[in-house]
Copies of this chain bind each other. A is one copy, B any other.
Amino acid sequence: MPVLRLLPLAALLLGGTACAQGTATSTPAPGAEAGHPNVFVSPSEIEAIRAARGQYALLDATIEADVALMEEAFSAPIETPPPGEAGGYAHERHKQNYREMKAAGLLYQITGERRYADFVRDMLLQYAEMYPALGPHPLSERQVPGKLFHQLLNENVWLVHTIIGYDNVYDALTAEERATIEAGVFRPMLEWFTGEGAFSLDRVHNHGTWAAAAVGMAGYVLGDPDLVEQALYGTDKSGEAGFLRQLDELFSPDGYYMEGPYYARYAIWPFFYFAEAIERNEPGRQIYAYRDGILEKALYATVQTAWPDGTFPALNDGSLYMTVAAPGVVLGTDVVFDRYGGDPTLLGVARFQGGVVLNGSGLAVARAFDAAETIPEMTWESVEFRDGADGEGGGLGILRAGAGEGQTVALLKYGVHGLGHGHFDKLGLILWDQGRDVLDDYGFARFVNVEPKYGGRYLPENDTWAKQTIAHNTVVVDGRSQNDGDRRAADAMHGDRHFFDGDGSDGVQAVSAFARGYYPGVDMQRTVLLVEDEAFDHPILIDLFRLDADAEHQYDYPLHYDGVPITASFDLTGHADALRPLGDDAGYQHVWETGRASVEGDVQFTWLDGHRYYSVTASGSTTGTTAGNAPTEVLLGRTGANDPQFNLTSEPLVVLRRRAADHLFASVIEPHGYYSGATESSVQARPRVAAVRVLGSDDRASVVEIEDHDGARWHVLVNNGAPSDGPHTATVGGQAVTWTGNAAVRPVR
């Protein structure tokens, strides 16, 4: 465990030992007056990196990658084209330029080769000719414009990296060159950021953090404390905005970033950049101890949400493909390893990343990686993160069984909405198994940087499909999205934690949460259990989704599976000669209805995904609720309707529809058997679970019985009342059943 967590808060506030093992202490950082470089790496760290070359694989990999990047850059003339559209040539060129200037600056320091410094100088002089004449970018849409880029964000990012490059070649330039560059580029850019762009800088939002980092880091490099003050406290220096306020509000006390891990991996990038600059120039600010070490928690809350293969869950407007190798996570991993005590599990993350940052923290990771006898698997335990700045905004629960890439993971989302990138998916579930998302979240509808796809921006279907409730594995009431798709309403509320038990020593882990008020008159509770039982080859997921309402509603329980339908308990008959959309709005207009059945009793549906079969067995009878034994309508669908530009990928789903006031969707999702196309082997293509029965469910408890095809039975016992270890008692069939813990699964004799 990292050291910081074990220290009493008082010690931190008194300027304790938080950074005892860090670079900043072992190699005293220069103050603002101490010369250059001073924001990302110090002269003594450069010395150490020079001495370490050829010794540590991760360090060498990064240096070689940067050298290769620069060889490519040297092979063509420097270009600073007039601003262009997002994803277009000019846009990409300016992005590549900042990457090259940062790399060139660091390589100048590490190698001493003058050509790297000249490169940064020449490029900045070229920018200095163009920049002063630029106006606001004409292609800005609903965003604060930059001048080089259509949105200010890109320009902030440009400056953060460019200022590192400049810092590193500062001493290699003449005073005149510096004056020309600062007057032609940095000063007018900073005026824009703190003037017209103040809205962005003063936002408590990840765009605001990039702005703060750009302004603050430039302030340190240019020796302008006023810029640093604006960055830390907002343009009015009141503290109502700025970096510290962002640290206070953008993360929950557990370090969870409200927009979700895809944004966290990007959001933490400027946080760590600016934090490093602060620590190096004003160590007295104790930035790494700030808010009980929130930066460390932010890094952990980011990497610990990742699936076992290193990709992030596609929560909110998230991508399916982003990984912990994202550069902001590399920076965060190295800094946290170096400044918070050297947690060896982070070396497992570093292995996945395959490189380090080029400063003392990166060197520390590369050295420890090389010295370690074994590098641990990137295996995280079950974990819950509270959401909301005060930790009272619900949370995210992640249950994990198994180790490494073989883990089975169930994720339940019950936090805050997450601002503009939030999805209307409270109590959404994702199931990860066999190295893939078996019940998946669509993530965003966007092809980032793919110019022909709407300039790489969010596609219209992001609003009309990806954000809608039906696009997620959570119940849709009356065919409407939560909060009726109103973001302001959603931002004003949050899910509520009920209990989280990730211990699993008895084979049962569980998480339970409420979502109240997301639909008028309907309260929802979802309890997800991840159960390891010797009767089953793989962990099974038990899902109890409880709806509590005064009036009757239509409840749709969707499962976004992947793969091929194999068999079902009902007449699995697809529509043959015409497809129509499943509905008119709230995302339903994007689903082709491919089949429909009315099922008496349990619903069982089996599909093949990769090397395993998966079956959902859902209760037909619902004793104790108003749904009674009415048939379940089963809808099969596939995305792609009302998608004229083919912006959506084609994905199947199955929806169980019931009408009721109170209802409990009780289902088991069971991975089973084995299939291989290469060896043409198939084992146990049919599920073990034979029936799921709701024996009773109300606001005190839910009791569900599971029976397998050999007649073995289990009771699932969940406390719906105030959380406690119990004992809890429910009456089932006239008999009292008692259990301890908020949730239990036990065999029936």
Contact = CB atoms under 8 A, between A and B. Distances in A.
Interface of A: 87, 311, 319-323, 325, 447-453, 456, 564-567, 572-574, 576-581, 589, 592, 594-595, 606, 608, 636, 638, 640-646, 649-650, 652, 675-678, 680-682, 685-686
B682 A644 contact: no
A594 to B, nearest CB: 7
23 contacts: A87-B682, A323-B678, A325-B678, A447-B566, A447-B682, A449-B680, A449-B681, A450-B566, A450-B682, A451-B685, A452-B606, A453-B566, A572-B644, A573-B645, A574-B640, A574-B643, A574-B646, A576-B643, A577-B580, A579-B579, A595-B646, A636-B646, A650-B652
B577 A642 contact: yes
Contacts of A452: 566-567, 606, 685-686
Contacts of A649: 564
Contacts of A311: 678
B566 A577 contact: no
A28 to B, nearest CB: 36
Nearest to A580: B578
Contacts of A325: 678
A592 B579 contact: yes
- Residue from A580, A643, A681, A685 whose CB has the most chain B CB atoms within 10 Å: A685
Given A323-B678, A452-B685, A579-B592, 10 more contacts: A321-B676, A321-B678, A447-B566, A452-B567, A453-B685, A576-B644, A577-B589, A578-B578, A579-B579, A594-B640
Contacts of A682: 87, 447-451, 456
A126 to B, nearest CB: 23
A320 B677 contact: yes
A574 B448 contact: no
A652 B643 CA distance: 15
Contact of A448 (B565, B638, B642, B680): B680
Contacts of A643: 574, 576
Nearest to A675: B450
A640 B650 CA distance: 12
Nearest to A320: B677
B572 A645 contact: yes
Contacts of A676: 321
Contacts of A642: 576-577
Contacts of A641: 576-577
Contacts of A87: 682
A578 B575 CA distance: 12
A644 B577 CA distance: 10
Contacts of A573: 644-645
Given A578-B578, A650-B652, A677 B592 contact: no
B450 A608 contact: yes
- The 4 A-B residue pairs whose C-beta atoms are closest, nearest first, are A321-B677, A452-B567, A579-B579, A565-B646
Contact of A677 (B319, B580, B686): B319
A74 to B, nearest CB: 19
A102 to B, nearest CB: 16
A535 to B, nearest CB: 18
Contacts of A646: 564-565, 572, 574, 594-595, 636
A541 to B, nearest CB: 22
Nearest to A650: B650
A581 B577 contact: yes
A624 to B, nearest CB: 34
Contacts of A608: 447, 450
Nearest to A581: B577
A37 B252 CA distance: 73
A301 to B, nearest CB: 21
Given A640-B594, A675-B450, A319 B578 contact: no
Given A646-B565, A646-B572, A322 B449 contact: no
A72 to B, nearest CB: 13
A677 to B, nearest CB: 3
Nearest to A322: B678
Nearest to A648: B564
Contact of A574 (B323, B572, B589, B644): B644
A349 B1 CA distance: 47
Given A322-B677, A650-B638, A680-B319, A578 B579 contact: yes
A573 B677 CA distance: 36
A474 to B, nearest CB: 24
Contacts of A453: 566-567, 685
- Residue from A450, A572, A592 whose CB has the most chain B CB atoms within 10 Å: A450
Contacts of A595: 644, 646
A686 B644 CA distance: 20
